[in-house]
Structure 1
Amino acid sequence: MMIYGTALLALCHLMGVVLGDLLGKALGVKANVGGVGIAMLLLISVRLALHKRGWFSAKSEAGIHYWGALYIPVVVAMAMQQNVVAALRGGPMALLAAVLTVLVCGSFVALINRTESKIVEPQETEEVA
C-alpha cells in the first residue's frame, strides 16, 4: 500500500529532526544540524534494506516516490524556518558542524553506492555488413 511508503517517510523525517536537534545540542548550536539530510539517508537506507529482503511492495515504494517529488519544496520550507543568523553567531562551532555534516553525509552516500549491486549494461554487438 502507498500508505506504508508515506508512513516510512514520516518516520524517517521525525527521526531525522530528533537526531538533528540532538546533534545541534551536542555541538553547542541552538539549531537543527543536518536533520533533513539525516532523514533522507535513513529513508534511502531503510528502503534499500526492505527492498533487498522483499518486504517492500511496489505500491509501498509508490508512496515514497510520490512524496519524494514533493520533498524539495518541503526542504526549502524547513530551511526557511531555521535561524541562520543565530547559527552564524555560533562561530567556529557552527562551521565545524556544517563541515562534519557534509563529510558524514558524503561518507554515507559513498557507502550506499558501494553496497548497491552493480548494474551490468548489455554489450553492444557490431553488425557486419
Structure 2
Amino acid sequence: MVLYGVAALAASLLAGKLVGDLLGVALGVESNVGGVGFAMIMLIIVTDRLRKKGHFPEASEQGVLFWSAMYIPIVVAMASTQNVAGAVSSGPMAIIAGLAALVAGAVLVPVLSRIGAPAEPLPPVDEEEKQVV
C-alpha cells in the first residue's frame, strides 16, 4: 500500500512537469515553468479528495509522507537543472523577481496569520508524555 502513495506522488510529478513544460512553451521560455509546484498542488488536491472519500488508506498515505520529507532535496535537485546562471547573467530581472517574491512573502506572513478565529490552546503535557519526549 505504501507503493500506491509513492505512485500517486510520481503521477503528480509527471503531470506537473508536463503542465510546467506546456506553460514554458506557451510563454516562449525554453524551460519548465513551475512544474514541481503544480505537481505538489495536484498531489495535495488529489490525496485530500481521496482521503475524504475513504479511498486513500493510511498505508498509502505513508508513501506520500515519506517523500514529503524528501521534498526540499527534490526541489533543490530539480532547481539545479534550471539555467540559473543564464537567467542572472542576462539581466537584473531574475534578481528583481526573486527579491519581489521575498518581500511579498515577508509582508504577507502577518496578514495570513490573522486569517481565521483564534484556536484554543493545546492541553498541557502530563508527566508521562514529558518523559517520552
* Ranges in structure 1 where 5+ consecutive residues have no aligned partner: 100-109, 111-119, 125-129
Q: TM-score of the superposition, structure 2-length normalised?
A: 0.67
| Mapping for residues 6-85 of structure 1, pairs under 5 Å | 6-85=6-85
The answer to whether the 8 A contact 1:29-1:90 is kept is no
* Ranges in structure 2 where 5+ consecutive residues have no aligned partner: 101-111, 113-118, 124-133
The one-letter code of the counterpart of 1:38 is F
4+ aligned runs moved over 3 Å, structure 1: 85-92, 120-124
Say which one has the larger Rg. 2
Q: TM-score of the superposition, structure 1-length normalised?
A: 0.69
> Shift of the alpha carbon at 1:5?
0.3
Identity of aligned residues (%): 51
The answer to whether the 8 A contact 1:24-1:30 is kept is yes
The answer to whether the 8 A contact 1:30-1:87 is kept is no
> Shift of the alpha carbon at 1:122?
8.4
Q: Determine the C-alpha separation between the residues in 1 that align with 2:5 and 2:35.
A: 19
Q: CA offsets, 1:44-99, max 9 Å, x none?
A: 0001010011100000000000011012101101101111244454987xx89xx9
